Every structure is written in structure tokens, then in C-alpha cells.
Structure 1
């Protein structure tokens, strides 16, 4: 994996910003609406100060008009994302107009067509019996798996300390073992205030690919999240990946939108698709 300087985290009141040169962006990961004015100012300050080409925000629908007035455009909307009641919006403002242009639109259209065909397939529920919840004792194996699978990644998931810190917050990792070694993993990153979860960090070693590992991990994570009172699941998947988009489409997720040139992964900036699913109701 290419070693990159990990993004910095800034807390503003109860809101959280992430920024760094690898993704060349500021990402407002969590907005507390009481912070909206100072957060908007700080987001733009950081972008100008560092020369980032994109500002990307995840905000409740009620805050979207404030950002629209500042020139942000909505790229994906997840209905019922906030507490199972109102939408969550993924919005962007581009300091470099070229970054808003998707250069591989033909590939992305093809991936979406294949995913739509998978959505029409009605199959049996994946067998989740091989999926295990991972703990601190698995951290080094997790870091090693991510090191092997990803050339680069937007978060420092090859750093055992980062994984431990994540486990100690609201992130639960899951894995599938093969021959005694960790061969596939994913994580569920919960937002208990919004009662939603991001299904993320999917990785499978080559020897286990094509055997439905990601679908099994996703199904097990959904089961556990429902038990924890989570209502909506979403993911931000590489828009050019046939495999991951098909996994979510087959599992009943809907496409919320596409984020152009959004995330540094696999050695370059990639466009991402946001998929969502209501996994439980109040």
C-alpha cells in the first residue's frame, strides 16, 4: 500500500471535519445543526488555506439550504437517513471545476446497468454462519489484510492504532477466516444519533473472491445493526467496481447518487456511488 499522510480530524463544537492532501478535500463527516454557521466558515477556510479542490459535506436535509446558498450542489440524497424520519444529503462545492467532471462515465453507466440486473435477481439469504465479529485480538490480522488488498485508502486502516481507536468508538469489524487466516473483512460504522450505519472497509483476499464473502459480511452486519436499533444502512462504494455495486444492489440497496472524483483509493481519486437501504422501521 502507498503510504500517505493520514487526513486530519478537526472538531468544531459537536461537528467533525476531516481533511488532507491524499483526498485533496475537506469532508464534513458529522454536522450538529447548532454549529452550522461556524462550520460553513471553517470548511471554506481550511479549503482555501490548504488549496483543496473539493469540499464535501454530509448534512441533514434541514441544513441543506444553508449550503446551497454557499454554492454547494446535492450529489446524493438518502431518504429517512436522519433518525428514520428525514433525508441526509451528500453535497459538494468544487474549487477546481475539472474535479466535478467524471471522465469514465461509460464505465460507470455499465457498472450501474450490471448492478440493476443483479437487483432483479431474487436469491436465498446469504449464509452468515462463517462471519465472526472481530475484536482487539484480530487487529494485526485486519491491518495486514487491508495492507494486501488496497494500494491506497482514504483512512489509515493499515495502522493497528487507528483500528483499535475505531473499535473503541462506534465501529464494529467483521471477518471471515479461511485456513486459519483472516481472508475477508468489513466494518459497520454506526451513527447512533441519526440511527444510521455506514457499511464500509470491505476487503477480500484473492483466494476467497467469487465466493460471496462481501454479501455474507453485509447480511451479518445488517442483522446485528437491526438488533442495535439502527434504521438505515448506506455505503459509499467505488463507482467503477462491478463487484461492490452488484453486492449492494443484490442485497436490496437503492442508488442515491454519484460523487464525482471523491475518494483516494486504489492509488487515485475515484468517483463513488452512494447506496442505501431501510433495514428497520420505528
Structure 2
């Protein structure tokens, strides 16, 4: 089966759905839908069977919350104000016993609890002057891919490919990076949904030897400023549940924990749970 992800739109007389096919992560995600909920769920399950998906995810509207329960889905996370100010509920259905098993859940619960005890006072310190913050352009694609190759053995999207990075930039994804001695050492992006006015802060990576200066917090604040200038106030980020550092950064930046996506994607070196963090940029 083709390992590259793709988005397809299905329009029928009683419904329409936008489907993200993700063979690498053995999952299918319904990103948007309209019309007859029973029929579109039926279609989504049919696609899951055809593509041998182990997990089906649906970004559901609040009014369909109970209906998804009835259809055998379970709620995993919520993004406040995702749909032009209305909440999105991430529901999932699993199709293999292995995909539904997890040994880290209790540990990750404890980590979220300990993160909520952290100090949230704003750190105004800046990194040494050798570090230079810039908005990335297509000329940075090769080096950005190199950074992601160094930091992540496995990544759920093909960021190891410079052409893919360029493609995301053309589609509106914003990247900010830190340079040190002319080389990119830290980066993150905002994947913008221009229609629903939300953005996912993602692709956060810093080389190990440059992690002591809080570069990621500064990059994320810069991205938030850019989003606000575009009139986008719903920001969310999905962090590896076993990564204390990244979850702590989001909490200290004012993001609120909104659930966990079980065995969601292959990242770092294995299939991992991912924590959902959400922030309303209009309040800051």
C-alpha cells in the first residue's frame, strides 16, 4: 500500500466528508463533514476496512457528541473553539487489540499532574546573541529536513524530505527557526487552517546541545504573534505524552491539557500516545 498520506473529499447526495488517509500511521482521520452522520460514519468505517486502518479518528462537533458514543467511538481529546469558535471533539475507534493496548498510561497521567505543579511565571531571559531567530522560507527547506532527521528517527509526516517541507510552506504553514553560527538548531511550525481559523503548533525540534536556552518557548511565542496578526485565536499542539520537556513548555506558555490520543502515531522511535494542549490566543 502507498505509504504517503493524502486527503480526499467525498461528496454524496446526503453527506460530504474530508478524509485524511494516513497509511504510515495505520490510521484514517475525518477532518470535516456535513450531512447525514450515520451514512458518513458508515463510509468512514468502510474506508478504514479497505485501507486496513487500525485506528479511525473523527473531529466531531459538540452536537454529535452522544451520537458518536452510540456508534462505538470513544472521546479522547477536545480542542476549544476549533470550528470557527465551536469546540472539536476528537473521537476514535480501534480495529486491533494491539492498537488499543498501552503500558504507559498511568505514568503519563502522573506526568501531566506533575507538570501542573510547575511555575508559570513568564521567563523573559533571551539566549546568547549568537542565536538568531528568523522566519523560515523555502531556501531553508533542506536544512530544516536535516534538523528533523537528526532529532527524530521516525516522524509521522515526511519532514525528512525537503520537497515536503516546501509543499507545506506553499500551503500556508509558517516556520520559525533559530540559527546558531549559520546553522538551524531549533524550529517549530504553525499549520494554519484558514477556513476554520485555527492552527496546530507542531514540528517542534531542538538539537540536544542547544536545549538549555529555552529556544522553543521563544519560537512558539513568535508563532503565536504571527497567528494573532492573521486573526487566528485557536492554537493547539499535540505533544508526545512521554516527553516531559515539550509538555512542560506548552503548560508554561499557558496551554491547557485537553486529553490524550492513544497510540496515535509513529514518532521518535515507536507508536506513541499524544497529549492535546489548547490555548485561546484572544485572551493573551
Same fold (TM over 0.5): yes
The total of aligned residue pairs comes to 275
Report the CA distance between 1:196 and its aligned residue. Answer: 1.1
* Structure with bigger RCO (C-alpha 8 Å, 6+ apart): 1
**Residue number among 176, 182, 185 corresponding to 1:183 in the alignment:** 185
Report the CA distance between 1:15 and its aligned residue. Answer: 4.3
Alignment-derived partner of residue 278 in structure 2? 276
How big is the alpha-carbon RMSD for the aligned residues of Structure 1 and Structure 2?
2.2
Mapped to 2, the partners of 1:9 and 1:35 lie a distance apart of 21
Report the CA distance between 1:159 and its aligned residue. Answer: 1.3
1:193-248 deviation per Cα after TM superposition (whole angstroms, max 9, x unaligned) = 22111000001112211221111111111111111100111011101100110000
Q: Map 1:1-282 onto structure 2 (within 5 A).
A: 5-13=3-11, 15-28=17-30, 30-34=31-35, 39-84=40-85, 86-118=86-118, 120-125=119-124, 127=126, 130-280=132-282
Report the CA distance between 1:263 and its aligned residue. Answer: 1.0
1:237–1:244 contact (8 Å) kept in structure 2 = yes
Structure 2 unaligned blocks of 5 or more: none
Mapped to 2, the partners of 1:146 and 1:221 lie a distance apart of 19
Structure 1 unaligned blocks of 5 or more: none
1:114–1:246 contact (8 Å) kept in structure 2 = no
Report the CA distance between 1:172 and its aligned residue. Answer: 0.8
Q: Give the match's secondary structure for 1:103.
A: coil
TM-score by length of 2: 0.89
Report the CA distance between 1:103 and its aligned residue. Answer: 1.0
Mapped to 2, the partners of 1:12 and 1:35 lie a distance apart of 13
Report the CA distance between 1:151 and its aligned residue. Answer: 0.7
